[in-house]
Structures are given as C-alpha cells and as structure tokens.
Amino acid sequence: MIEPVQLPSPWRDARLTVVVPTYNEAGNLPVLVERLLALPLPGLKVLVADDNSPDGTGEVADKLAIEHPDRIEVVHRPGKEGLGRAYVDGIGRALDGGADYVAQMDADLSHPPEALPGMLGALLSTQAGVVIGSRYVPGGQLDENWPLYRRALSGWANLYVHTLLRVRIRDLTAGFKIWRADALRDIGLDRVQSNGYSFQVEMHYLATKLGHTILEVPIRFEERRDGLSKMTTATKVESALMPFKLRSRHRNLPG
C-alpha cells in the first residue's frame, strides 16, 4: 500500500466527492470507505450509488452513512442499469451537492484510494480537466494475479478504441480518475448515453473533443479482493460498437 501524498492547504481541503457505483460489493465497501476516510483530505466525501444489490450492499452503505453522516451519502437506485447510468446519476448528484472535484473509482479495491491525494495535486497544479490513474503509462502496473485473458482484453480494447477514435490516452478504459466540476458541466452528463463500461471511453472522447487537457499518472491496478467481475457478453458487445456510435453521435462537436 502506498503512502498518500500530503497536500498543502488549501489544496488538502478541496471539496472532493468520490462516486462509487456498487452492485454486490458488501464485502469490499467497508474496507474501501475506511481507506478513503483515512486519507489526509478533510474535504473528501463519498457518494455510493447502489443498484439494489441483492447481497445487501445498500444496507451496508446505509450503516456506513449513519456512522459518518457528514461524509457519506447513499443513492439507492431501482435496479441494475449498468455502470454508466450509475455514474451519471452519482456524478450529477455530486455536482448538485457542491463538489468542486469529482472522483470515479470502483468498489472492488482494484483502484488504490491512497493515490487520490497525488492525483488531486496533479489536477490542481495543472490546467487539466481530468487526471486519470493509468495502468499503461510508464510506472503503471497491473497486479500479477490479474488473469491473462483480462490483460489481453484490456490491451486489445485500448488499441481498438484508440485506432478508431484517435484519442491520445493510453488507458482509454480507465475507471479511476478525478474531474474538475467545470469540465463535467462542459461535457454535459445529458450527452452521455453509454450504459456499461464504455461510459469511460465516451467520457474521455467527449473531454478530448471539447478541448480539455487530460493527464495520466501511473497507478498499480490490483485484482479485486472479493466478489465477481460484472463484465458480461452484452457489455463487451456494447463496448465493441461504441466507437462507431460515438463518431456518429458527437460528429457535430468541435475537435
């Protein structure tokens, strides 16, 4: 586990909301929340967007919110509609709640919370609209236990999307990042239509088309600690078709 960067004031006091979509993450969520709240970021809040998890993740989130009423908010969604819809809902609520910066991360402990202060510092010290915790820039790492087929799928997906969309990001499918609120408002969540993991690609594509600077910093990506991956065949099909849809859907945007 890395040591979090100690940011100077007022950077450390930034109003940062971490949006965490959940579906059957009852075992992982308490560990993640504990690590997030231990960070030297007193302005950090956590927004859990749960898609009515049958394993009781929503109830676990409610208990954590009772324990930390000023720092944790829970959004109970009616059912599993996909990662993209959960993020659009959660990010929208974070912006409405006054967040100046919004982070995205998975609940499965694959993204190191301790990297967030350094990512926030990188955002605040540059003109970037978003900072990505990247697996594929120099210094980025993948857990040795990550299955070979997942490595191959991730590498192929990045190459495929990069070839079709010409977006200069090494980790196009990354799900760990911090956005400026102004960049998110400029993108407009109403523009985003992806349901699954292709949400990440659509957001990166829109940010690029609208001229926002995107900065990638290296992270170590861990294999999930508990539970099962949510990657389905339908998700893979949506991801494969998404680059073609994006070029058509957003063809009138500059860039």
Domain with residue 88: its CATH number is 3.90.550.10
- Nearest 5°: the CA angle 234, 243, 172 is 90
Q: How many domains does the chain have?
A: 1
- At residue 234, the pLDDT reads 57
Residue keyed to tokens 């009515």: 52
The domain of 240 spans 11-250
- Residue 142 domain-assigned (yes or no): yes
Residue keyed to tokens 């998404």: 242
- At residue 238, the pLDDT reads 59
What is the value of pTM for the model shown? 0.89
Q: Give average pLDDT by consecutive 10-residue segment, the chain, 255 residues.
A: 92 97 97 98 98 97 98 95 92 98 96 98 97 94 72 69 77 94 96 84 92 96 64 57 68 68
- Residue 41 domain-assigned (yes or no): yes
Phi, psi of 18 (to 5 degrees): -95, 115
- At residue 149, the pLDDT reads 63
- Residue 6 domain-assigned (yes or no): no
- Residue 255 domain-assigned (yes or no): no
- At residue 103, the pLDDT reads 98
- At residue 224, the pLDDT reads 60
